[in-house]
Amino acid sequence: MRTANDSPALKEQSKHYPSSWKGKVPKRVRMTTTVRTDVPLPPFLTAERDLEGDVWVNSHGAVSILLEKGALGLKPYEFEIIEWHEQGGKK
């Protein structure tokens, strides 16, 4: 199972990584809207508005919230970052 500490962005960040994050890596987010799985196949995942949770971040900056049944990919406007990892990845 993925964890926030397994985020590839902690070790490597591509040229597409969000420059506004200044090399920092998100650890926890708060949902600003309710998001559901796009694909009509199990597991059906939902992240409710105001839910706070750990995230997994790939080297390009794509964010997935870690839920009990799996990881749900998020779009930038669907969450706000409430905690960063103490150490950033490589720039």
**pLDDT tens sequence across 4-41:** 999 999 999 999 999 999 999 999 999 999 999 998 88
Q: Which amino acid is at 23?
A: G
β-sheet bridge partners, residue 57: 63
Q: Is residue 91 part of a domain?
A: no
> What CATH code is carried by the domain that includes residue 65?
2.30.30
- Asked if residue 91 has pLDDT above 60, the reply is no
User: CA 25, CA 17: separation in Å to the nearest integer?
Assistant: 10
Report how many domains make up the chain: 1
Q: Does residue 52 belong to any structural domain of this protein? A: yes
Domain housing 32? 4-84
Residues near 60 by beta carbon (within 8 Å), at least 6 away in sequence: 14, 16, 17
Q: How many residues does the chain have?
A: 91
Q: Which of 46, 27, 29 is nearest to 38 (CA)?
A: 46
* pLDDT classification of 90: cutoffs 50, 70, 90: very low
Establish if 90 belongs to a structural domain.
Answer: no
Whether 72 is covered by a domain: the verdict is yes
- Name the residue among 20, 36, 21 with its Cα closest to residue 73: 36
Confidence at residue 1, expressed as pLDDT on a 0 to 100 scale: 78
**What's the rounded Cα separation, in Å, for the pair 67 and 49?**
14
